[in-house]
Amino acid sequence: MTASAILREETAEDHPAIRALLLTAFQRSGEAELVDALRKEGDLVFGCIAAIDGVIVGYAALSRMSAAFPALGLGPVAVAAAHRSKGVASALLRWSLARAQDDQWRAIFVLGDGAFYGRFGFRPEPAAGFASPYAGPHFLALALNGALPAAEGTVDYAPAFGRICGRPSGVSGV
């Protein structure tokens, strides 16, 4: 990744730039609306930004899931087109996973590409026992701070996902 990129948690001052990044990266408004709603409803646990020379070029959102143990949902993830394939999304993920681990979360779920997320330890198998509107081969989980506390049960993303993104093809991680 570009050596000058800084990874840090979002602040309120970053919100307009994050919104602009999401609108441009996805070429639609759903993901920007989703992040606004997650913040407003208190479900955004943290957002990680990547900035180069003070400009926000990447973003990842981690939100509270409904589960029997402390679990986060990852997404949306976006990188500005001019900065893609340089490891920015990977750096956002590594930062976010380390932060979630430090904060004692027990799992992160993502709806995404197994080849990409597999690099970070996400697998379909640990997610497969959970009933979810997003269940399927692209529903992946990563256990943090030990094995998953349960192998089955029900998990769901924060309500804004279903409301804004629809089901079951909601916002995916990649």
Ligand X SMILES: CC(C)(COP(=O)(O)OP(=O)(O)OC[C@H]1O[C@@H](n2cnc3c(N)ncnc32)[C@H](O)[C@@H]1OP(=O)(O)O)[C@@H](O)C(=O)NCCC(=O)NCCS
Query: Could you list the residues that contact ligand X (CB under 6 A)?
Result: 25-26, 75-79, 84-90, 113, 116, 171-174
Ranked by CB distance to ligand X, the top (closest) residue is 89
CB of 151 to ligand X, least distance (A): 27
CB of 83 to ligand X, least distance (A): 7
CB of 89 to ligand X, least distance (A): 3
- 106 vs 138 by CB, closer to ligand X: 138
CB of 88 to ligand X, least distance (A): 4
Question: Does residue 163 contact residue 133 with C-beta atoms inside 8 Å?
Answer: no
- 41 vs 113 by CB, closer to ligand X: 113
- 67 vs 171 by CB, closer to ligand X: 171
- 30 vs 149 by CB, closer to ligand X: 30
